[in-house]
Amino acid sequence: MIIDVHAHLYTEQGSHVPGFQWKLATLPDGEISLEDVAGILRESPIDRMIISCGGGQMGPTDKEMRAGNRRVGELVRNYPDQFYGYCSVHPHYLEESLKEMDYTVNQLGFIGIGEVCPHVLDFEMDSNEVRAIIEKAIELDVPLNLHSSEPPHFQAIAKLAREYPRARIIMAHFGGFRFWRDGVAAIKDCDNVSADCSAWVLFTMGAFEHTVKQLGAERVLFGTDFPLCDLDMAVYKLRNSGLSEREVDLIGFKNAMALFNLSTGEW
């Protein structure tokens, strides 16, 4: 069983370089349909995705934020056996973001918030706006995924985790593609922060083993940053990382089920 806790719903191929995901590159030009996305997942070794329109895919306005969340909602509604939803937020539109969190969690059944991505939307992770989003996530009792690719990101995540011990935080990308060792070290004593292995850090030799040694397998989550990284290659990397079967199962799906309060009855 594999749950991908870090994926994005792309609208058009031109919105991002497909990276290793050659299957995406073979699709016709123009809009990528929900069926296209579901079909790629069905053909992969991944069983479920927790997916958002966030990261590099959310436009710069509150209207685009809402439109992206509705598209994710449609995907989840049409393919409930494959996808769970993340609510994307835009800290520059804080009031609208807090309303979106309420609506998507309580009405659309989304199970988390994220990816909250400061380098795309040009805000500081260590800000009152992000604090308000964290407080709302605590109120709604859902985890939130915070992007990290630079030292200011993971330093802020560690600071916020200490301020909000009740928050269930996911630090994306093990803290950073170049800085992942420092990112892992920054959250080592923050028991309420898990780290996901998404994007290029997936293919870094020793990243899984080092992170498990530092945090324990119980705080590591599997993610791909789909469609940035090929799904088959990502699962192969986990299963051939040298970790024990128990550790692979924890990272592959058991930690996600515990963190997001997923029931085996949903499978």
Is residue 19 scored above 90 in pLDDT? no
pLDDT at 202: 84
Average pLDDT over residues 113-128: 88
pLDDT at 187: 98
Q: Please, what are the domains in the chain? A: 3-266 (3.20.20.140)
Q: How far apart are CA 188 and CA 219, in angstroms?
A: 10
Q: 226, 37 in Cβ contact below 8 A?
A: no
pLDDT at 177: 85
Is residue 267 scored above 90 in pLDDT? no
Q: 112, 260 in Cβ contact below 8 A?
A: yes
Nearest to 183 by CA among 223, 217, 145, 154: 154
**Average pLDDT value for the chain:** 89
Q: How far apart are CA 193 and CA 165, in angstroms?
A: 9
pLDDT at 10: 77
**Position with higher pLDDT, 118 vs 13:** 118
Nearest to 221 by CA among 248, 193, 255, 187: 255
Query: What are the tens digits of pLDDT across the range 221-245?
Result: 999 998 888 899 899 999 999 999 9
**Position with higher pLDDT, 149 vs 32:** 149
**Position with higher pLDDT, 261 vs 58:** 261
* C-alpha of 3 from chain center: 11
118-156: burial string, b at 16+ Cβ within 10 Å, e else: bebbebebbeebbebbbebbeebebbbbbbbbbeebbbb
The rounded percent of the chain whose pLDDT value lies above 90 is: 74
Count of other CB atoms within 10 angstroms of residue 224: 29
Nearest to 130 by CA among 147, 107, 149: 147
CA dihedral for 87, 88, 90, 91, sign (positive or negative):
positive
